[in-house]
Structure 1
Amino acid sequence: MTRRLDATESGIATAASILRAGGLVAFGTETVYGLGADASQPEAVARIFEAKNRPRFNPLISHFAHAQAAFAQVVPNPLALRLAQTFWPGPLTLILPRAPGCIISDLAADGLSSLAVRVPANEVARALLELVDRPIAAPSANRSGRISPVDAAHVLEELDGRIDAVLDSGPCTVGLESTVVDLTDPQNPCLLRPGGVTLEELQAICPQINLPQTTHDVAPHSPGRMISHYAPHLPVRLDALHVQADEALLAFGAPRATQAPLVWNLSTSGNLEEAAARLFTGLRTLDQEGQALGLSRIAVQPIPQYGLGRAIQDRLNRAAAPRPQNGTQGSIP
């Protein structure tokens, strides 16, 4: 049975003790709930893959309480320092070369010479990381390839009995995973995954950043890059202008007349921040209730392609992608 810990001083201390002992603790960040393990302990990191049924060729993001701790494990360049100063703590992951003396296990990095590092903004998460005082590898706290969790109840739906504890800090405020930027070549920075920090915000600091490309890589360079990802059980149909009688509807914007038997509106006012925060809960709700009603798929109305709309569309594209037949779907940090 997985323990559910309150976000109190006692609960945080218990969670830190479990992590230091090599256990698994899910905890909320501003993006989604992560499944944490001490990144310096290979056996603890291996438990993440086992709990999630996660492919072992997908690297993990390591989380830190502050930038100084993160940059002790990687080699920062001037652009990395500027981005960290602007967006940390916050929903931005930087990929940088591994530093000499780095204590993060090869398993967490998938044997790469680079590492993905982040400083989350959630105060409970940072208090936990400060108390543990070790890098914490933390992909999303769900079964591999499934919908990311944005509250503690979602974690328990997926992983109850498979992990030691969940530290309940309430709903996640951003609701989408972090933006991932590859800075291993500072002359050629690349946005690998859109997320909580928008492209427009990045371009204000780094005008030369390359835009993301969908990957079909077997072994991704970055977490969260598998083509089939964030997948509900029901198939997903994108850019739906009309809804069939056997479809649930993931809507966006002012409500329209529809014959859909089940509707979740991401934001009736068309607010992309609200839509991002409600995306994964909406997919999860439509999937569960749609199956109960015998519906055949989830139809998704078009999403604007600017700001957080790009990150929302990225997750929807992956949710709608053909499912692997060998059970090796990727997962998200």
Structure 2
Amino acid sequence: MTTPVGWGHRPAEGEGESEAIRESRVYTITHRTEYGYSDVVTSSYGRGHLTPRDTVGQRCLAYELDVDPVPADRSTSLDAYGNISSYFHVTEHHRALIVTSRSVVEVDPPPTERYEAAWALSPWEAVRPVGHNGALASEFSLDLRPPEITAAVRDYAAPSFEPGRPLVDVLRDLNSRIFSDFTYKSGSTTVSTQVSQVLVAREGVCQDFARLAIACLRANGLAASYVSGYLATDPPPGRERMHGVDATHAWAAVWTPQNDWLGLDPTNDQLVDQRYITVGWGRDYADIPPLRGIIYTESDHSVIDVSVDVAPYDGGVSRA
């Protein structure tokens, strides 16, 4: 089994340009992944992060995960970051594997003060662990292995991190610069592409832009997380909504000493609001991949097809 690469979304011109309505939204999300193999697979082990999390501003009202062929064994657990991890083992011989998750999720708009509160308007500063939450957050300020914080990352970040600048202004400036300086190009990178390579190529997808923002934040001592989920987009005025053309999405979040995470999406130059549905978070993509696994086969090649649909809730899935 291979992990899908290049997942992400930058809305087409006209999508999602109107100001978000200040009310909660309820979505149905259908995420379907189909693997096809050139020879029989005798055994397939899979693990996925596909269940949206319950958070202060988000509630997963219903969820189901279908795997075809039916697994001989499956289970659900929480990972180190509290994300919901689903495991399955298929022992029936097969040439195709289809994993479909369906969920109903309610998302609240961010409180008006989230990006206007004292801590957002205060000058940015490096993480100062305070109490239990601060100690946990400090993990998110550490560099990865291999290192992502290079001289080039520090140089790129510098214009946004002026001393004494309010934190929210730093986030908005960094968001806008990445959005303007880099080209969204599907298939131009893989999950193994390094931030340094993205800086040279000046192109990538959402996971690359999120990881670049995170490296810039950590280079300046801030705690930043990689967030995986979905982005609901509204159709342009006068056009009907298209089904099955959405995608998984990735963005970044930065911690404040008030134990609040401020979300930023450099792919779309947006601060996170109720259009963003969170599946989970970690220090990097490797902590929260949608699907990964191991197969036993003589197959010499495989294909993968992924479709995601994020739609307003219409009662089509039972709300638990």
* TM beyond 0.5: no
Bigger RCO (CA 8 Å, 6+ sep): 2
Would you tell me which structure has more strand in proportion to its own residues? Answer: 2
The structure having more radius of gyration, on CA atoms, is 2
TM-score of the superposed pair, with normalisation by structure 2: 0.24
TM-score of the superposed pair, with normalisation by structure 1: 0.23
Would you tell me which structure has more helix in proportion to its own residues? Answer: 1
